[in-house]
A and B are shown apart, each in its own frame.
Chain A
């Protein structure tokens, strides 16, 4: 440490001894980011010392990092000092059941088609709803608890299961992994935690819905899933955001840890506000998602349907460390108007006979830009590694762009890598065939696009697949004619 830094640190840490210059009672942190803010967030959440230290370490790493510029997206510079990093929801008392939840809030969920009650009754999905960074409702917890499954908000996990959180947080995505992951690690507000004990098959889909509520609030969710030996879980994450004017930064981190013979299926339907037709407003979605197949024969499968956000920067990845482990990535990314998506995956083969499968379907309409970026890396000792990649792009109109950036990096000669890529346009003849049968153009496009994405949509749990299909149609509305 340089002398300057030492002095600076002494000085700043001294200041903290004298108390806060931020009102701890405030529902909202002041704009901007510094160590004070990090301490404020941690204090707000009554976190243990080790977690505060962990956050501070991340924050210090972040200050030394630069925003990545390699993605195929363009946006005005983000002023990180102009963002509010913490805001609590208006609700005062934490609800024990849905009855205690603000009815207005429940109404909003209903409008978005994600009524908790209905989900509970009809689908048996346990929902941990996150609204503006703090959990407002958790259901089915008792039932899961009987099996030893832990499914709760991240904050609760920190309180109730600190040893687990401490052991696994940052074990897949280290604090200094990348600019946005470091930022998230410093200021994450809440998220979900899921732990499946040895040999347990989680009997229901675990589901979280996120949405952004207050204006000008960055959303920094953190999810940690730990699957013990021989366990299985299917996890759903979905989000919908209401229309707004200001750009909003969203930098989430998801970590999955799968041990021997464990399987984790992680599905996302992402529908953040994409901005208006001119691209004004909309969410900047910079997400780090990574899973490690730590044990032999483990499997992690990512499925994503990306329809929202003005900018998507997201590469759900798998580290295939255990022998015979399997990583999968199924993706649909739809962009319309001025949306930009740069998404894909990384499959890192470390163990022997590891397998990965990548199926990416991009759909671009309007003036949007849609890029697939994927890396397949086979390390020296990964004998018998195999990868299959299929990257398809579908173009609607001639103002949009589709790009494919595959990176293949092989250090073991026994590896078998297959890569297929296609680019096609929705044909006039396909649309005419549909309209001739009485189907209107918008429905025709939805039908054709859903058909094109079928292999990915098939990976989603039933009720989610239906929602995803509706979203695809909604996203492409007005893209023909």
Chain B
């Protein structure tokens, strides 16, 4: 479904991604771990099409299309979803209104009629249960004054509403207490099908107790320096990142 080959990207002339290779198949869950500043969010942003980042080399194939050739909204409509590490506030725009606009644009792209108010509300009610989110929150200005946990829950709620094929969760676990973490993970698991794929970005293995990955990759200095099964995450938890850093630094040196 997603095939990343030798992806290089930079911002303000500074190279952040230095040759990423990654294959993701439908139904799979990939975890991307790595110390702060290693380029995890950059990778997520580049996949989502953030324009500040310049792709200097490499290819990304998504469902047979050149992903890098699509505008961010086209990627979204084709099923790429990014749960933001730092969800953005939009004053005066409710989550409901925001999602209605988004959903109808996605539907239009698929050649579907816009959802009428009743169907939309029915759908909302159903998805709200999934992440145990409150109706009142959805009527408030998007992310404005939300707690960290509310923001993350809202991201997963949006994901549930938009039913993406490829979801990238960027540190969705950070700032969550254990109950919220369970709820969010639970939501993600329920949304999993054999046709969609999830990339979970995190630097703690905690989340991976709940969202069990098929593969774990370690990103360091803009490269995937190690890949393995979910046991790799446990090893990282136990030993930290230092041994990986050493390994990587000696091989590149």
By a beta-carbon cutoff of 8 Å, the part of chain A in contact with chain B is 427-430, 432-441, 443, 447-448, 450-455
Contacts and interface: CB of A to CB of B under 8 A. Distances in A.
A440 B88 CA distance: 17
Interface of B: 48-52, 71-73, 75-77, 81-82, 84, 87-93, 97-99, 101-103, 105-106, 109, 141-142, 158, 162
A451 B52 contact: no
B48 to A, nearest CB: 5
A438 B93 contact: no
A452 B90 CA distance: 8
Contacts of A427: 88
Contacts, number: 79
A451 B93 contact: yes
Contact of B105 (A428, A429, A433, A440): A440
22 contacts: A427-B88, A433-B84, A433-B88, A433-B90, A435-B72, A435-B76, A436-B48, A436-B49, A436-B72, A436-B75, A436-B82, A437-B98, A438-B77, A438-B162, A439-B101, A440-B105, A443-B101, A443-B105, A447-B101, A450-B93, A453-B92, A454-B92
Given A430-B90, A436-B72, 5 more contacts: A429-B88, A432-B88, A434-B102, A437-B158, A448-B90
Nearest to B108: A438
A453 B141 CA distance: 13
A84 B140 CA distance: 52
Contacts of A448: 90, 93
Nearest to B74: A438
B162 A437 contact: yes
A26 B90 CA distance: 57
Nearest to B78: A438
B84 A438 contact: no
B105 A430 contact: no
B132 to A, nearest CB: 21
Contact of B87 (A428, A433, A438, A441): A433
A432 B102 contact: no
Q: Which of A428, A436, A439, A443 has the most CB of B within 10 A?
A: A436
Contacts of A451: 90-93, 141-142
B76 A430 contact: no
A450 to B, nearest CB: 7
A291 B105 CA distance: 44
Contacts of A435: 49, 71-73, 76
A439 B102 contact: yes
A440 B77 CA distance: 10
B76 A436 contact: yes
A363 to B, nearest CB: 12
Contacts of B103: 438
A427 B86 CA distance: 14
Contacts of A430: 88-90
A440 to B, nearest CB: 5
Nearest to A455: B92
A413 to B, nearest CB: 36
B77 to A, nearest CB: 5
A171 B109 CA distance: 58
Contacts of B72: 432, 435-436
Contacts of A454: 91-93
A445 to B, nearest CB: 11
A447 B109 CA distance: 19
Given A451-B92, A452-B92, A438 B109 contact: yes
A428 B11 CA distance: 15
A441 B93 contact: no
A437 B93 contact: no
Contacts of B93: 447-448, 450-451, 454
A447 B48 CA distance: 20
Contact of B73 (A428, A440, A447, A450): A440
B91 A452 contact: yes
Q: Which of B72, B93, B105 has the most CB of A within 10 A?
A: B72
A436 B82 CA distance: 7
A432 B73 CA distance: 9
Q: Which of B48, B75, B101, B141 has the most CB of A within 10 A?
A: B101
A196 B103 CA distance: 46
A312 B216 CA distance: 60
A263 B73 CA distance: 47
A448 B98 CA distance: 10
Contacts of A438: 73, 76-77, 102-103, 105-106, 109, 162
Contacts of B101: 439, 443, 447
Contacts of A443: 101, 105
A373 to B, nearest CB: 24
Contacts of B75: 436
Nearest to A448: B90
A433 B144 CA distance: 14
Contacts of A440: 73, 105
